[in-house]
Amino acid sequence: MTHPERFIELLMAMSRDPRYSVSVLVLGSWTTIVRHSSLSRLPQVTAVFSALTEYTTEAIFQVCRAAQALAVKSQTDGIVDETDMDQFDSAAEFRVFLTSEVRRRLVNIVRDMCNIDPAGFVGWILPLLLPVFSPENSSNASVIEAAFMIVDAVLTTLDDAEQRALSEGDEDIAAQVRQARAPCYQLGHRVVEFSANDPHMVVRQLQTLPSFAFLLRPAAMDSDEARALLMAILQKCAATLKHPLDGPNVRDLRLVARRSTAALVRLAIAIPDSLMMIYADLSQLVQSHIADPDVTRTVKGHLSEFQLALIAGASRTLAERKQLAQPVVQPIIDALHELMPALQSPTEFITLLGLPALDQAYAQGSISPDIRAVLEAARSNRAQLGQ
């Protein structure tokens, strides 16, 4: 290529076109360039990496805004170009195109640039992400969701790059990733401390937390930043475990609690040895919630799963793991022993599940019509079981 800088200028100009039908055409070109071992190292290409980082980040924000506007059928003037809308049969079809095609390509470009220059990329993207998690921006749901998505992509990419470099003995890449880690702790605290009022946004926030394993690997736990971030994550998860048993938002709050325990389990699988450094305090925190009557049985079960996943993955001897698991497993064993009499016959088992009470409520007409068919099928199955 005689004048690559002209081609790069053309790609940047097309990328900034407000029409997705135009800008999407060059996303494939950028993907090819940043994944090519030679093209991605050209001075003309590396010179625009900072601008390309800004473009992809802002483009992801814009795509999420447009998708949200289309989802709620709100005013899309200034967000979506009419010529784009005309190319699709419906707003729903256009929204699928934005989320499954445009956004996916943009996030992949973010990952690829992060792989090329980890430290440089983090330096470029942090100023774009940090302001999103400010208190005054808490109502901008679509942009916040996009930022969570980018944080997850960046941190998982850095973690994968470091683990791959360590396994292959590539000290140069490992050193670059370590250099990129330090400034990410500020981003980690911003994400964890961000206060969202919408339960669905809290769920998205909790889903991002496992990607922080990159910042919490055992080798990083000597730093005050890593220990402080780990404690902040645990406190964030613990604060979302309780919820009322009834009320208008009980379903959403139940989902938040489930995502919180799911984040803990994923962290236990990813960084068991880091969590074992504070196991005494962690065990006390878990046990206090298991003993709390305001915490549902489902959440308590997931907390036990978290503890067992942590113990199973820890670099401890079998005897040590057995000793740690004993107080977690024994209450479960005791509970099963208490249930044994009810498992001796189908009738007692059905009574244990409370199905006769459901039958009675059904006979009295206090069961909503939408689940009557389910109860009829269950009654038929129980009759077959009794035979």
**Under 8 Å between Cβ of 40 and 47:** no
**Under 8 Å between Cβ of 202 and 229:** no
Question: What is the structure's pLDDT at 357?
Answer: 72
Helix ranges (DSSP H) in the chain: 4-15, 20-35, 43-46, 49-71, 82-85, 91-97, 103-116, 118-129, 141-168, 171-193, 199-208, 224-239, 250-270, 272-276, 279-290, 297-313, 318-339, 346-352, 355-363, 372-386
CA atoms within 13 A on the CB side of 314: 23
Provide the 10 A C-beta neighbour count for residue 321.
Answer: 17
Q: How far apart are CA 123 and CA 126, in angstroms?
A: 6
**Under 8 Å between Cβ of 129 and 187:** yes
What six digits make up the tokens of 156? Answer: 């998982």
Please tell me what DSSP assigns to residue 354. Answer: T
Please tell me what DSSP assigns to residue 249. Answer: T
Q: Which residue has the tokens 């996943």?
A: 309
What string of DSSP letters covers 304-350?
HHHHHHHHHHSS--HHHHHHHHHHHHHHHHHHHHHHGGGGSSHHHHH
Per-residue pLDDT of the chain (387 residues; tens, 9 = 90+): 566 788 888 888 888 887 877 888 888 888 888 888 888 888 888 888 899 999 999 989 888 888 887 777 655 555 666 666 666 777 788 888 888 888 899 999 999 999 988 999 999 999 999 999 987 776 778 889 999 999 999 999 999 999 998 888 888 888 989 999 999 999 999 999 998 778 888 999 999 999 999 999 998 888 899 999 999 999 999 988 887 666 677 888 888 999 999 999 999 999 999 999 999 989 999 989 988 888 888 888 899 999 999 999 999 999 999 999 999 899 888 887 887 887 777 777 777 777 777 777 767 766 666 666 666 666 655 555 443
CA atoms within 13 A on the CB side of 128: 25
CA atoms within 13 A on the CB side of 360: 5
Question: What is the structure's pLDDT at 387?
Answer: 39
Question: What is the structure's pLDDT at 361?
Answer: 73
What six digits make up the tokens of 101? Answer: 């095609």
Q: How far apart are CA 182 and CA 122, in angstroms?
A: 10
Question: What is the structure's pLDDT at 385?
Answer: 47
End-to-end CA distance of the chain: 80
The one-letter code for the residue type at 320 is: E
Q: How far apart are CA 278 and CA 260, in angstroms?
A: 19
Picking from 116, 114, 140, 172, the residue whose alpha carbon sits closest to that of residue 61 is: 140
Non-local CB neighbours of 379 within 8 Å, separated by 6+ positions = 359
